[in-house]
Structure 1
Amino acid sequence: MRRGWKVLLAIGFALVTMIGCLPTAWAAKTATNNVGYTVRPILPSNQMSKQISYFDLRVTPGQTQKLQILVTNTSNQSQKFRISVNQAVTNDNGVIDYSQLKPKRDSSLKVGIADVFSQDSMQTVTVPANTQKRVTVSYTMPSKKVRGIILGGIYVAQVQPNSEQASGRIMIKNAFAYAIGVSLQEGATVKPDLKLNQVVATQINARNFITANLQNFQPGLLQKLAVTARITQAGSNQTLLSQQQKQLGMAPNSNFNFGIPWGNESLKAGNYTLYLTAKSGDQQWQFVRNFTVNAPTVKRLNRHALTPTQPNYWLYLLLILLIAVLLAIIGYLIYRNRHTHDTK
C-alpha cells in the first residue's frame, strides 16, 4: 500500500512539473553581477545641484571647461575602458539613451554634444588592478547663447580583448558600461513639445507593427510621458489595435517610433486612422492621422512575419484529465483504506 502511495505521489509531482513547464508569461530576474569597476563624476563648482550624481551644469556662452570622472578598478587585474561623450537620444522603447557613439541627428537639434565637446574626449584608458584613474574630457560652448538644454552622457565601456585576431589587430568587444549624464544649460528651462511625424507599417523582431514617430522638437527634457494610441479603419470608430505605455522619457530634440503591435493576424492593406494622446505633467497632446497600408508593403511584411505561437489547448485538457483521474484514484484508495480499517 505504501509503495502505491509513493508511485501516485511521484506521478502527481511529474504532472505538476509538466504544467510548470508549459509556455506562460513570466518575468525574469536579473542577477546582480560584480562588474569589477565603478565610475563617479567629480562635480565642479558650477554644478547646479550637489544632490545628484551626474553633471548638471550652469554654463555661459564661450565657456571652456574640463570635466573629470573617477574610474576605480576594483578587480585584481588590469582593465581597459573606452571613454566617449555621446549625444542623448530617445530609443524606440521610449528611454533616454546615452550609448550611441554616432546617432542619427534629429532635424530639430541645432547645438548638440558633438558640437561642444572636443574630439579628444573619445579615448581608451587602462586602469591597473585595485587602483583609480581620473579621466578628463573638455567642452567649449558656442559664443552665441544656446537656448534650453544640451544633453548627453560620458559613456564608459569596459572592453576586453577577443581571442580572435583580424588583420593582425586584436578585436575589442564591450563587456559592461556606465553612463554619466551631462546637462549644459545657459538660460531658463524650456518646456518640451511634441509633434507627430510619419505613421507607417513596419516590422520589429519579425512581428508586424504600426509605428508613430513622435518628435520632441524643443531643447527641453520630457519625463513621465504616457502615450495612448488606437487605430481604426478610416471612417469607422471601431478600434482595431490599441497600445498604452507609461513612464516614458524623451531627450531634448529627439524622436522615437512608438510601436503598436498588429497582433496575431496577418497585416491587411487598407486606409486607417490613428488616434494618439500623450501626457506629461500638465502638458497634453492629441493627434489624429490618416494613413494607408498598401498591398506591396503588406506582401513584403507578411512574407517575413513570424506567426505568434498559439497555446496547445489539447495538451492543457489532457493534463487536466490526467490530474482528475489521479485525484479520483487517490480518493478511491483513501476510501478503500478507511473501509478496510473499519471492517477489521
Structure 2
Amino acid sequence: MKKNPVYLLLLLISLVLLFNPVISFAAQESANLINGLSYEVLYPENQKNKNLGYFDLKMESGQEQIVALKLYNSLSKELTIQIQLNTAKTNSIGKVEYGPNNLEKDSSLTNDFINIVKAPEKVVIPPNSSKKVEVSISLPKTAPAGLIAGGIQLKPVNEHKMDNKSKKDTVINEFAFLVGVLLRVGDTTKIQPELKLNKTYIAFKDGKSHLFANISNSRPVYTEGMSIMVQVRKANKQKNLFEYRKDNMRMAPNSVIDLPIELADKGLTAGKYTAQITIKSNKDARWSFTEDFTINTLEANSLITTRVEKKSVGRPLLGLLFFFLCLSLLIFFVMYKRIRHKKI
C-alpha cells in the first residue's frame, strides 16, 4: 500500500485553494525613517505630557511662543523638507484628519490653526546632519477658552525629474511624517461639545446615490466616542424603512462631518422621506434631529440601476465560484481513484 506523494500534494493544494484563496498585498512597515528623514519633538515647559510624540500645550489668550522640532538627515546628500500646516478636521467616516485635505471648515471656527501657527515652508538639511525648525504660535488676545488642533506635515521633496510619459507609467509612493499640535487655551475641562444638523441631502458618491447628513460640532472641543443612528421612513409615516448605525466616531473641535449613507440597497423610490438622526457621545451627551428630504425621479432611477448592476455582478461571481467548486471536486475524485488504484 504505497501512496504517491505527488498526488497527495496536488490534492492538498487544490483543497487549500478552494477554502483559502490566495490574497496578495503590499505592506508598508512602520519605521522612524522616511527617505533619510527622522525627527524629534523638542518639548517646551508647558507641554502637558512629554511621552506623547506630539505637542500638547497649555496656553493662555494673547500668549506668544516658539516651539521646535529637530530634523535629522541620515543621507550623504542634502535633504529638502517641505513643511505644511493643517487645521484638524473630521472626515466622512468619523476620523480626525491632521494632514492636508479638502474637508469643509465649520462656520464656528474663529481661531483657525493655520492662522495662529506659522512655520517655514521648506527646510534644507545638510548631509548626515540635523537642523532645528522653529514653529511660532501667536494666540489672539480675544481667543476664548477651548482647544485649537492641527498638524505639521514633514515631507521629503522628491527631486527626481521625470518626463510626462514616465509619470504616467510609474507609481510613486510618497510618505510624510505628521506631528500633531494641540493648544489648550485657558480652562477647557468644563467645555462640552455641541452638535447641530446643518442639512440632509441626496448626492452621488463613487457613482452611487447617498443620503448625506451634514453635522457640525460648534464648540472648541473634541466629541469623543460618537455613535450615530439614522432611521429613515416615508414622510408622515411611523414605520422605519431602514436603519443605519455607525459607532466609534470622533469629531475635531469646530469641525463638520458629512456622513454618507448608501441608498442603493434600501429599496427607495421617488418621494418624500423623513430622517430621524440620533447621536450619542461617550460622556452620555445625546442629540436628536428630524429632517425631511426628497428623492426625485432621476435619483430614484439611479438607485434602480445600481440595484440591477449589483445583481448582474453577483451572478457571474456565483457562477465562477460554482465552477471552481466543481473543478476541485473533479480533481479530488480523479486523484482519489488513482490513489485507490495504486493501493490495489
TM-score of Structure 1 vs Structure 2, range by shorter chain = 0.7 to 0.9
Whichever structure has more strand as a proportion of its residues is: 1
Q: How does 1:28-67 map to 2 (within 5 A)?
A: 30-32=27-29, 35=34, 36-67=36-67
CA apart distance, 1:145: 4.1
Does the 8 Å CA contact 1:65/1:138 hold for their aligned counterparts? Answer: yes
Per the alignment, residue 271 of structure 2 pairs with: 270
Structure 2 residue matching 1:53: 3-state secondary structure: coil
Question: Separation in 2 of the partners of 1:93 and 1:294?
Answer: 26
- Aligned length in residues: 327
Q: How does 1:95-174 map to 2 (within 5 A)?
A: 95-100=95-100, 104-118=104-118, 121-164=119-162
Question: Separation in 1 of the partners of 2:183 and 2:245?
Answer: 32
Per the alignment, residue 185 of structure 1 pairs with: 184
Structure 2 residue matching 1:160: 3-state secondary structure: coil
Which amino acid is the alignment partner of residue 199 of structure 1?
Answer: T
CA apart distance, 1:254: 0.3
CA apart distance, 1:117: 2.7
Does the 8 Å CA contact 2:14/2:328 hold for their aligned counterparts? Answer: no
CA apart distance, 1:42: 1.0
Structure 2 residue matching 1:111: 3-state secondary structure: coil
Structure possessing the higher relative contact order (Cα contacts under 8 Å, 6 or more residues apart): 2
CA apart distance, 1:258: 1.2
Question: Separation in 1 of the partners of 2:329 and 2:306?
Answer: 42
Structure 1 spans left out of the alignment, 5+ residues: 167-172
Q: Which moved more, 1:156-165 or 1:137-146?
A: 156-165
Question: Separation in 1 of the partners of 2:52 and 2:309?
Answer: 46
Which amino acid is the alignment partner of residue 324 of structure 1?
Answer: L
Q: How does 1:303-342 map to 2 (within 5 A)?
A: 307-308=309-310, 309-310=313-314, 312-338=317-343, 340=344
Cα 1:321–1:31 shift into 2, 3 Å: same
Per the alignment, residue 167 of structure 2 pairs with: none
Q: 2:239 aligns with which of 217, 225, 237?
A: 237
Structure 2 residue matching 1:318: 3-state secondary structure: helix
Per the alignment, residue 283 of structure 1 pairs with: 285
Does the 8 Å CA contact 2:264/2:303 hold for their aligned counterparts? Answer: no
The Cα offsets for residues 229-283 of structure 1, whole Å up to 9 and x where unpaired, read as: 233333252433x433332221100001112122357874222222333222122
Per the alignment, residue 226 of structure 1 pairs with: 227
Structure 2 residue matching 1:214: 3-state secondary structure: strand
Cα 1:315–1:117 shift into 2, 3 Å: closer
Per the alignment, residue 202 of structure 1 pairs with: 203
Per the alignment, residue 169 of structure 2 pairs with: none
Supply the RMSD in Å over aligned alpha carbons. Answer: 3.4
Does the 8 Å CA contact 2:3/2:339 hold for their aligned counterparts? Answer: no
Per the alignment, residue 170 of structure 1 pairs with: none
CA apart distance, 1:320: 2.3
Q: TM-score, normalised by structure 1?
A: 0.80
The Cα offsets for residues 152-203 of structure 1, whole Å up to 9 and x where unpaired, read as: 122222221251489xxxxxx9922222222222322221121112111222
Q: Which moved more, 1:7-16 or 1:269-278?
A: 7-16
CA apart distance, 1:135: 0.5
Cα 1:288–1:135 shift into 2, 3 Å: same
Structure 1 residue matching 2:159: 3-state secondary structure: strand
Q: TM-score, normalised by structure 2?
A: 0.80
Does the 8 Å CA contact 2:264/2:304 hold for their aligned counterparts? Answer: no
CA apart distance, 1:138: 0.9
Structure 2 residue matching 1:192: 3-state secondary structure: coil
Does the 8 Å CA contact 2:7/2:335 hold for their aligned counterparts? Answer: no
Structure 2 spans left out of the alignment, 5+ residues: 165-171
Which amino acid is the alignment partner of residue 124 of structure 1?
Answer: K
